[in-house]
Amino acid sequence: MFIFCRKIVCLFLYLIVHNTIANDKTNIAKLQIQFKEQSIFGNNDIVNFYREFEPSLTETNINWRVYNLVQTGVLSRIGRGKFTLGECVNFVPQISSDLKKIYAKLHKQFPYLKICVWHTSVLNELMLHQPGRFYTLIEVEKDAIENVFYSLKENKHNVFLNPSADILSRYASGEKEITIVKSLVSEAPMQKVNGVQTITIEKMLVDIFCDETIFAFQQGGEMQNIFKEGFSRYTIHESRMLRYADRRGKKECFDNYLNKVSKFRQNEKLTAVL
Q: Pick from 85, 76, 70: which is nearest to 33 by CA?
A: 85
Q: What is the pTM of this model?
A: 0.76
Question: Tell me, what's the pLDDT at 16?
Answer: 37
Question: Tell me, what's the pLDDT at 23?
Answer: 46
Beta carbons of 234 and 91 less than 8 angstroms apart: yes
Beta carbons of 132 and 174 less than 8 angstroms apart: no
Residue 186 CA to residue 170 CA, distance in Å, equals 31
CB-based contacts of 4: which residues, under 8 Å, 6+ apart? none
Element (H, E) at 41: strand 41-42
Residues of the chain with pLDDT under 70: 1-25, 79, 263-274
Beta carbons of 180 and 135 less than 8 angstroms apart: yes
**Torsion sign, CA atoms 216, 98, 204, 268:** positive
Chain segment 90-123, per-residue pLDDT in tens? 899 999 999 999 999 999 999 999 999 999 999 9
Question: Tell me, what's the pLDDT at 25?
Answer: 66
Element (H, E) at 107: helix 97-109
Three-state secondary structure call for residue 158: coil
Show contacts of 211-219: CB within 8 Å, 24+ apart. Answer: 213/163, 213/164, 213/165, 213/168, 214/135, 214/137, 214/163, 214/168, 214/180, 214/182, 215/120, 216/165, 216/168, 217/131, 217/133, 218/123, 218/127, 218/131
CB-based contacts of 189: which residues, under 8 Å, 6+ apart? 200, 202, 203, 237, 240, 241, 243, 244
Question: Tell me, what's the pLDDT at 15?
Answer: 37
Residue 230 CA to residue 236 CA, distance in Å, equals 8
Question: Tell me, what's the pLDDT at 115?
Answer: 96
Residue 212 CA to residue 219 CA, distance in Å, equals 7
Question: Tell me, what's the pLDDT at 11?
Answer: 41
Mind listing the domains of the chain with CATH numbers?
Answer: 2-85 (1.10.10), 97-272 (no CATH)
Residue 88 CA to residue 234 CA, distance in Å, equals 7
